């Protein structure tokens, strides 16, 4: 049986392992389970998420709980952009709505740096939100099932 623990895929990355790392990240984030997502990061992982800077798994879990409390019906897709050695860059889009029912598509890029243990030690994200209508969604369950 193949193990699917977060640290199973370790650098240096090749095309297949980089794609698998990205797919596993997409799957974990689409679970919207902060504890599951946080397991892919080192205990002292450093994050930049837009204008927020923090480190450590407890901060990651708190950030994600807050994020998914605000970003309802969140659905994400990630695409491998580039990789080398212990780094992977992705582009992503995710769609969500706020408590008032306004829909958004968030576009961005992430740069990931991994330790020898296969866990992400650094995550750097830049993103922009674009208002959309419900009908403009591209990542809906109807269009792109999980």
The pLDDT tens digits for 96-141 are: 999 999 999 999 999 999 999 999 999 999 999 999 999 999 996 6
d(CA 59, CA 63): 6
Whether the pLDDT of residue 21 is over 70: the answer is: yes
3-state secondary structure of 38: helix
- When pLDDT is averaged across residues 30-53 and rounded to a whole number, the result is 97
**Domain spans of the chain?**
15-136
Which of the four pLDDT bands, split at 50, 70 and 90, describes residue 1? very low
The pLDDT tens digits for 76-108 are: 999 999 999 999 999 999 999 999 999 999 999
d(CA 134, CA 138): 9
Q: How many residues does the chain have?
A: 146
User: What are 5's two structure tokens?
Assistant: 């623990």
Q: DSSP code of 69?
A: H
Assign domain 15-136 to a CATH class: alpha beta
- When pLDDT is averaged across residues 38-49 and rounded to a whole number, the result is 97
pLDDT at res. 7: 78
């Amino acid at each position: 049986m193949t193990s699917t623990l977060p640290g199973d895929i370790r650098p240096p990355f090749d095309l297949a392992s980089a794609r698998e790392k990205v797919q596993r990240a997409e799957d974990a984030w689409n679970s919207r389970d902060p504890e599951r997502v946080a397991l892919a990061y080192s205990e002292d992982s450093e994050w930049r998420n837009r204008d927020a800077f923090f480190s450590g798994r407890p901060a990651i879990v708190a950030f994600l709980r807050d994020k998914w409390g605000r970003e309802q019906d969140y659905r994400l897709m990630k695409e491998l952009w580039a990789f080398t050695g212990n780094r992977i860059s992705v582009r992503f889009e995710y769609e969500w709505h706020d408590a008032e029912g306004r829909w958004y598509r968030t576009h961005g890029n992430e740069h990931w740096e991994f330790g020898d243990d296969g866990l992400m030690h650094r995550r750097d994200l830049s993103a922009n939100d674009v208002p959309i209508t419900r009908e403009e969604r591209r990542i809906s369950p109807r269009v792109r099932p999980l």
